[in-house]
Structure 1
Amino acid sequence: MSETKSPIILWFRRDFRLAEHAALSEAVRSGRPIVPVFVLDEVVETYGAAPKWRLDAALRLFDERLKSLGSRLILRRGRAADVLASLAKETGAGAIWWTRAYDPDAIARDTAVKSSLASAGYDARSFAGHLLFEPWSVKTKQGGFFKVYTPMWRAVRDRPVERAEPAPQQMLSPNSWPDSDQLESWGLQLAMNRGGDILARHACVGEARALDRLEHFLDGPVIGYKERRDFPAEEATSRLSENLTWGEIGPRTIWHAGVQAMNDGKPGAEHFLKELVWREFSYHLAYHSPEIISSNWRPDWSSFPWQEDEDEAVLRWKMGRTGVPLVDAAMRQLYVTGYMHNRCRMIAGSYLTKHLLKHWRIGQQWFEDCLIDWDPAANAMGWQWVAGSGPDASPFFRIFNPQTQAEKFDGKKVYVHRYLAELSQDPGRDALDFYQACPHCWQLAPDDTYPEQMIDLGSGRRRALAAYEQMKSRSEGRGDA
């Protein structure tokens, strides 16, 4: 089969959409048959329970969308380079194309895939689409990458962003379809156990629903976004992090819709765009300094005396039983919905890393397992920011006081009562669902007595500041040597 007529394998990963998909658009324009494939590969196998559950939901809906165009999603399992080479031989494909990713694990996988396929004579090609701006295209005046967010925002805010490609109306299929695994045989939902049915009530899956979510947000909540986004009981945010994570909506689609809202005079639109660029910032950092994913971005923080043991205090934090209502409500929202409000992520993270002096990696790994909007770059950046060890970090001495934060952002305790059955006279569904979703071994029940605080907040703050001063003293001492 000539290269001009041979099929193109489109390797889908975290880009489960048809619009704003450069690789798909180029493949359709070529007039060649297209074989969409998803590989449960060496990177995907490492995903946590909630991300795997959410991936399963995304794959099911995306396959239905492809079938509406006369296509389908082929599922294969194994090492990506081997699976794609084998599939190319089966189908006679001359090209394998995909959307680029930028976290270290994905880059390592994709580099190996491209090298292996290119050596075998295939057209192995990656396309932009996960970000607004490629990480190597945004530079400081000195030619380096931005290590502070605000200058990066100023550098890109007026940059032109191409319009998104529309979804194709049809896709040319191969003469015969290769065999596909059955999604059920992968068991992606099994790790969630009984919690999957509860997550299903909160997930917003697929490209169509993502676009509806964007439209709903820009039609109303965006107006008060800057002022109200920190109030966890209110529907004041877009919640698009879930759909961006799985590529069910593209960043250019969101950007242009946000710019239009800003031009229409909607007050919160610019701040919304800033948050989209914050996501860019985290990925640019992960690309240029991949150590941010697994170790302290600031090397001097390696001497900070964080405790790395997962003791009873960590377990109580995970269970939402610290005795600090706002922290506990946040941890239970995470378990019930697979999501946590951003303000609460900062408060719960600060409590773990500062009041309890536990390593941020403990929290990062728990979120990796529990978030349906888990994103490797944003998760790492968020934890290092709140811990104080990362770029553009919150200063360590900025220790969130959960009580004053609750008074400011949940003064009527609507959020706390939504998720803490022990503190509500008439617990609602979200509060009770926690006990249906959490592990049996935790032995928790709605009529449990709410616990006393594990640690006095003032004492915890003083202990954290003392540890910080000790680290600075040791660092300064080494510098004088």
Structure 2
Amino acid sequence: MTDKTPSIVWLRRDLRLADHPALCAALADGGPVIVVFIHDESVDRLGAAPKWRLGLSLASLERSLDERGSRLILRRGDALGELRALVTETGAGAVHWSRLYEPDAIARDKVVKAALREEGIKAQSHAGHLMFEPWTVETKTGGCYRVYSPMWRAVKDREVAAPIKAPAHIPAPDSWPTSDRLDDWRMGAGMVRGAEVCLPYQRIGEAAATERLHAFADGAIADYKDARNVPAVDATSNLSENLTYGEISPRQCWHAGQRALHQGATGAEHWLKELVWREFAYHLMYHTPHILTGNWRSDWDAFPWATDADHPEVIAWKQGRTGEPFVDAAMREMYVTGKMHNRARMIVASYLTKHLMTHWKIGLEWFADCLTDWDPASNAMGWQWVAGCGPDAAPYFRVFNPETQLEKFDPDGIYTRRWIAEGQSRPPASALAYFDAIPRSWGLDPKCPYPARLVDLARGRQRALNAYENRGF
């Protein structure tokens, strides 16, 4: 390579310019840098909400690159084929990218790396989506941690490299390769009318993510440990959507949390633990990839979950019409905002898998279609943790009671009134927005009466406990 030989940065879930090791490596090559995003099969497989949100992030990054004298090149097709074509068109001598950890992504990237290197192209993968690479954290006896608390103790005092500043300028090639138009990809097609409802609740792009982090670290992080469980209060960082698309890095989050902790914010340590919980999910996905598709604990394979995704009870759960206000408010929050409070996620997951005895994969797939902050590792581990068949899921027999949980975490009904219009003489706009976001085929409007309870909570709990006992758990 000469100092005029271009380098390619292949983006995936790292849609930022700061703290971007792959971008830094390309700049260090000394020549022009061509930033590309490839719409391949992995993008095709995304659900409606995450695909739409990904498109918004790409549009934001396009603007950021333009401000630095660069462009975002968009190509659609097989990743290796498009990268080969770009190398031919530009004369690039190197391709850099940030690692992903899903089994399909690992398999694709190995093929890409081997093929490019065989053709004389420098092909390098870099860290960036995690703080601790999965192969660098092991138990004393070897192997990955399968319980969270020991992993936290193992990494909490490790040095995490300081974030890297964004480049002020990105050198451009003499001529740009051809690029698709983002609008032509129609990334939001699956959202239909829900996109307009959801859009105001998104904080899109690197600048918004950085602002959000700083605001949280200067304020709500202090009370995070206790207030994070109250869904009516804006007490969390809300950075899940930004971490999902790499609009901010976990290292940036870690260092902001550490600064807050050292400045006396007592809740900061618990937030740092949540960052490591995210890492835990990724380490499990890397080392035990079957967590994405089947019971992490194989002894649950015979458990008698129902598997009919179109059962009337499951449809009622999907529609947020179970007659359990905590469950219904949470589902409606998801349709309006694209996200769901973490305490609420546990309640709706427990209700589906335990009170309705329905397979966790039905919930996992529904969330994968509806959440704008969908994350493959966190979604899989979260559902299996609540269902009881996943890692660190003791006690597996715990059944969250949505009624008593509501009394504890929303005693004044602020959260439920925010999202459930039925029964209110003057429902807020947030509750009415649910009827604008959902499919028209559901045939629902604010005049519909609020539904009666689907199942008796005590009987539903006992049915689940009986099933555990009969299966020898």
1:3 shift after superposition: 4.7
Structure 1 segment 44-83 matched on structure 2, within 5 A: 44-83=43-82
Cα distance, 1:472 vs structure 2: 1.4
- Work out whether residues 68 and 169 of structure 2, in 8 Å CA contact, stay in contact via their aligned partners in 1: yes
CA distance in 2 between partners of 1:99 and 1:187 (Å): 25
**SS of equivalent residue, structure 1 residue 37:** strand
Please tell me whether the aligned partners of residues 7 and 32 of structure 1 are also in contact (alpha carbons under 8 angstroms): yes
Tell me how far 1:109 sits from its aligned partner: 1.7
Q: Which amino acid aligns with 1:262?
A: L
Tell whether 2:423 aligns with 1:423: yes
Q: Is the 8 A contact 2:25 2:96 kept in 1?
A: no
What residue is the counterpart of 2:321 in the other structure?
321
Letter in 2 for 1:289: T
- Aligned counterparts of 1:294 and 1:395: Cα–Cα separation in 2: 22
User: Which amino acid letter does the alignment assign opposite residue 317 of structure 1?
Assistant: W
Q: CA–CA distance in 2 between the matches of 1:108 and 1:188? A: 25
CA distance in 2, matches of 1:423, 1:177: 58
Aligned to 1:369: 369
Q: What is the TM-score when the length of structure 1 is the normalising length?
A: 0.97
Q: Secondary structure at the match of 1:276?
A: helix
Q: Which residue of 1 aligns with 2:214?
A: 215
Query: Given residue 300 of structure 2, which amino acid in structure 1 is its aligned partner?
Result: W
TM-superposed deviation, 1:120: 1.9
The sequence identity of aligned pairs, in percent, is 55
Deviations 1:405-464 (A, max 9, x none): 000000001000000000323111111111011001100001110000111011100111
For 1:152, the equivalent position in structure 2 comes to 151
Q: CA deviation at 1:17?
A: 0.7
1:477 alignment counterpart: none
Correspondence 1:162 to 2:168? no
2:95 match: secondary structure: strand
- Is the 8 Å Cα contact of residues 81 and 113 (structure 1) preserved in structure 2? yes
The residue that corresponds to 2:203 in the other structure is 204
Q: How does 1:393-472 map to 2 (within 5 A)?
A: 393-472=393-472
Offset, 1:29: 2.5
User: Paired residue for 1:476?
Assistant: none
1:36 maps to amino acid: V
Q: Structure 1: which 5+ runs fail to align?
A: 474-481
Deviations 1:115-147 (A, max 9, x none): 222222211110001000000000110011100
Q: Distance in 1 between matches of 2:301 and 2:466?
A: 16
Amino acid in structure 2 at the alignment position of 1:206: G
Pairwise mapping of residues 224-243 of structure 1 onto structure 2 (< 5 A)? 224-243=223-242
Match of 2:341 in 1: 341
Aligned residue in 1 for 2:188: 189
Query: Deviations 1:289-314 (Å, cap 9, x if unpaired)?
Result: 00001110000000000111111111
Q: Distance in 2 between matches of 1:396 and 1:145?
A: 21
Map of 1:286 onto structure 2:
285
1:305 match: 304
Contact 1:13 1:38 in 2 (8 A): yes
The one-letter code matched in structure 1 to 2:274 is E
Within 2, Cα distance between the matches of 1:99 and 1:156? 22
Does the residue aligned with 2:347 lie in a helix, a strand or coil?
helix
Superposed displacement of residue 198, structure 1: 1.0
Report the alpha carbon displacement of residue 23 of structure 1 after superposing the two structures with TM: 1.1
Task: Name the counterpart of 2:351.
Answer: 351
What is the distance in 2 between the residues matched to 1:272 and 1:119? 44
C-alpha distance in structure 2 between counterparts of 1:234 and 1:70, whole Å = 41
Aligned to 1:378: 378
2 CA distance for matches of 1:377 and 1:74? 28
Task: Give the secondary structure class of the aligned counterpart of 1:98.
Answer: strand
State whether residues 418 and 430 of structure 1, in contact with CA within 8 Å, keep that contact through their aligned partners in structure 2: yes
Q: CA RMSD in A?
A: 0.9
Using the size of structure 2 for normalisation, the TM-score is 0.99
Amino acid at match of 2:259: Q
Shift, 1:238, TM fit:
0.3
Output one character per residue of 1:375-402: Cα deviation in whole Å (capped at 9) or x when no partner: 0000000000000000111422100000
> Hey, what does 1:42 align to over in structure 2?
41
Aligned partner letter, 2:286: Y
Contact 1:396 1:468 in 2 (8 A): no
Residue in 2 that maps onto 1:244 = 243
2: CA distance between counterparts of 1:215 and 1:423? 39
Quote how far apart the aligned CAs of 1:355 are.
0.4
Secondary structure of 2:301's counterpart equals helix
Q: Give distance in 2, aligned partners of 1:129 and 1:284.
A: 14
Distance 2:210 2:424 in 1: 35
Q: Is the CA contact (8 Å cut-off) linking 2:2 and 2:31 kept in structure 1?
A: no
Cα distance in 1 for residues equivalent to 2:391 and 2:80? 34
User: Are the aligned partners of 1:43 and 1:109 in contact in 2 as well (CA < 8 Å)?
Assistant: no
Segments of 4+ moved more than 2 angstroms: 2-5
Partner in structure 2 of residue 253 of structure 1: 252
Q: Distance in 1 between matches of 2:119 and 2:358?
A: 48
SS at match of 2:200: coil
- Alignment partner of 1:433: what SS? helix
CA shift, 1:4, in A, is 4.5
Unaligned runs of 5+ in 2: none
CA contact 1:51–1:371 (8 Å) conserved in 2: yes
